[in-house]
Amino acid sequence: MTSKHLLACLFCVCSCAKQEVFITPSAVQLDSEGEQWARQTLAAMTPEEKVGQLLMVRANVAFYNVKDPAWAELNQAVRKYHVGSMLLSVPNDTGTSARSLPFEAAFVTNQLQHESKVPLLFAADFERGLSMRFAGTTSFPHTMAFAAAGKLDYVRDFARVVARESRAIGVHLNFFPIADVSSNPANPIINIRSFSENPERVSEFVAAYVKEAQKAGLLTTAKHFPGHGNEDSDSHLGVARILSDAAHIEAVELVPFRGAIAAGVGAIMMAHVTVPALEPAADRVATTSHLITSDLLRERLGFNGLVVTDALQMNAIADLYPDGRAGVEALKAGNDVLLLPRDLQVTANAVMQAAETGELSWPQIDAAVMRVLLSKASVGLHRSKTVDISQLPQLLSQPADAVLSQQIADDAVTLIRDSQTVLPLTVGKVVVSTGHFDAPAAPDNDLLVVLLVDNVQDEPGRIFAREVHERRPGARMIFVDPNLVSGMTPEILAAADMARAIVVAAVITPTAGKVVKVEGNLTNAVSLDDASAALLNKLLAGTGDKVVLISLGNPYLAMDFPNIGTYLCTFSHAPPSQRSAVKALFAEIDVGGHLPVTIPKIAPYGSGLFRAKR
């Protein structure tokens, strides 16, 4: 093809693109035009199309050949099953999510919108921003870091960034904010995903995020109703149980949800947990409980928006209700959207059969479909449904976003204990480049850094290590995971004897479905595994006066090590939080964060020592 022909083709593509009307995000708002569109759309639907509107399936972002079976499956979900919404995500074939590119995300949403007769509502889990799924976007700390930093303006700024970037790639609904209160230190799935243990403080942050995100055009979801904070098991692995009494639920768990509803939250996600104080039936999780979903959430709390199930493929509910019954029971309870059914065909057939037999009434289905359609209209999908990919370089990863994220992470760093025998660390001799190859740094036996991670081959902790090396090029750096720690313990203890300062950085964060050995039992936990805990105890017993323990995640970690002398928390392992931790070690920033939770045996809520930068 000659350059002349190439230019002609490009001109043709651009001309065609100009004819398409792209969606222009504005504040979430339902007008009369949108309401009329929803009524007319519902009236024209077949029974199968109505059922499809209640289904949300996963759409992984990747490059797809048009004959790729995975692409054919997505097309079938749209054309055959008429799904109303999709959860935008990334492949997870190896147990680790492989981040895709935002250009691919926008392309996938646009293509699927073209395939769908009724505009699709795209949702995403952007709890820490788009960087959770997509490379090249701004990385933000975990939720609890915002409360540690203590500024509501930070969460408002964050909401605006996420809204701008989400709508740019075609996402309309974010499964955030998390309204769960961190009231149980043993909770393996909430932890730093919660703002705080203080329900009023959680409510403030939740409401601030909801208002600002929806003002910027992004529907928000408060999760997980009626509160997932006070339990100690993982609902991805089995049924979790909330043992709080009714008074505690009213005074603690429900407070942030009331705040979210008052702020106009667009959706609420149900929790796959049993709550005996609210639902006496032992086989009813909140998702399938009419008492909790309809009587409490709809009637008592007055929520009229979209009710979304948590993922129906999770063991907590899938094992209770085989053959698509989970979806039927969830709709009977009062849910509107069935998120990630384990089998799309089986679930769609089960719902149709329930409607045909009268177990589910068509007026009830119509009401749920109407709420889905009204949600779509509130974000402008009745006017246009595709995004302008050419605008992504202007809308994503703006330099100011990275500055904001780093400032939040810096302000969140919290010093819980300080023996005043180790910190601050001193900067060593910097290696200056003299040519193409630099001589390796001389060994620096004074500083030992041990990073406790889930897997030494994964990314978490790498930025922390690099930042330390920039300041102390010869520092001894050792990564260990549960599979390696026992064999490496003698080497680490020998290095500790020579060191003047020992930094132990633990990357322990809530991970769905994770299994570790704690006290001899396999469980999902946000504490150290047995072998890593044994190593840390040996370090504290022999060299405790020169150990700094840093939690790049779970602040409750120190509960198991009450004799720790110096303890620092970042509440996140996100890249900016790793940088902040190192800056705090070397006194390059003021350290002034405050604990959003109580750490039993260590420190009360609100604790935090102030240390000025050098």
DSSP 293: I
More confident residue, 99 or 534: 534
Task: Check: CB of residue 177 under 8 Å from CB of residue 202.
Answer: no
Percent of the chain with pLDDT over 70: 89
> Secondary structure of 344-406 in the HEC alphabet?
HHHHHHHHHHHHHHCCCCHHHHHHHHHHHHHHHHHCCCCCCCCCCHHHHHHHCCCHHHHHHHH
Please enumerate, as own/partner, the contacts of 489-493 that have beta carbons within 8 Å and a separation of 24 or more.
Answer: 489/531, 489/534, 489/535, 489/538, 492/448, 492/450, 492/535, 492/539, 493/538, 493/539, 493/542
CATH of domain 413-432+440-585: 3.40.50.1700
Per DSSP bridges, beta strands 414-417 and 566-569 are: antiparallel
Collapsing DSSP states into helix, strand and coil, what is residue 305?
coil
The reported pLDDT for the residue numbered 610 is 98
CATH number given to 23-396: 3.20.20.300
Q: Which residues contact 395 (CB under 8 A, 6 or more apart)?
A: 164, 165, 168
Q: Which of 82, 142, 172, 236 is catalytic?
A: 236
pLDDT tops 80 at residue 513: no
**Quick one: which of 591, 536, 590, 586 has its CA closest to 565?**
536
91, two tokens:
């492949």
The pLDDT-based confidence of 17 (bands split at 50, 70, 90) is very low
pLDDT in tens, 320-344: 888 889 999 999 999 999 999 999 9
Predicted confidence at residue 431, as pLDDT, reads 46
d(CA 603, CA 477): 29
Question: Chain-centre distance of CA 120, in angstroms?
Answer: 22
Q: Calculate the alpha carbon distances from 516 to 190, 233, 237, 267, 530 in Å.
A: 17, 13, 13, 34, 9
| pLDDT tens digits along 286-329 | 999 999 999 999 999 999 999 999 999 987 788 888 888 999 99
Whole-number Å distance between alpha carbons of 598 and 603: 6
pLDDT at 3: 39
pLDDT confidence bin for 520, thresholds 50/70/90: low
Over residues 67-88, mean pLDDT? 96
**Could you say which DSSP state residue 263 is in?**
T
Is position 272 annotated as part of the catalytic site? no
pLDDT tens digits along 577-610: 999 999 999 999 999 999 999 999 999 999 999 9
Catalytic residue among 157, 180, 234, 310: 310
Map out the domains of the chain as residue ranges.
Answer: 23-396, 413-432+440-585
Q: How far is it between the farthest Cα atoms of the chain?
A: 80
**Mean pLDDT, rounded, of the chain:** 90
Which structure tokens are listed for 393? Answer: 């370089």
In tens, the pLDDT along 261-270 reads 999 999 999 9
Residue 116 CB partners (closer than 8 Å, separation 6+): 78
Query: What pLDDT does residue 271 have?
Result: 94
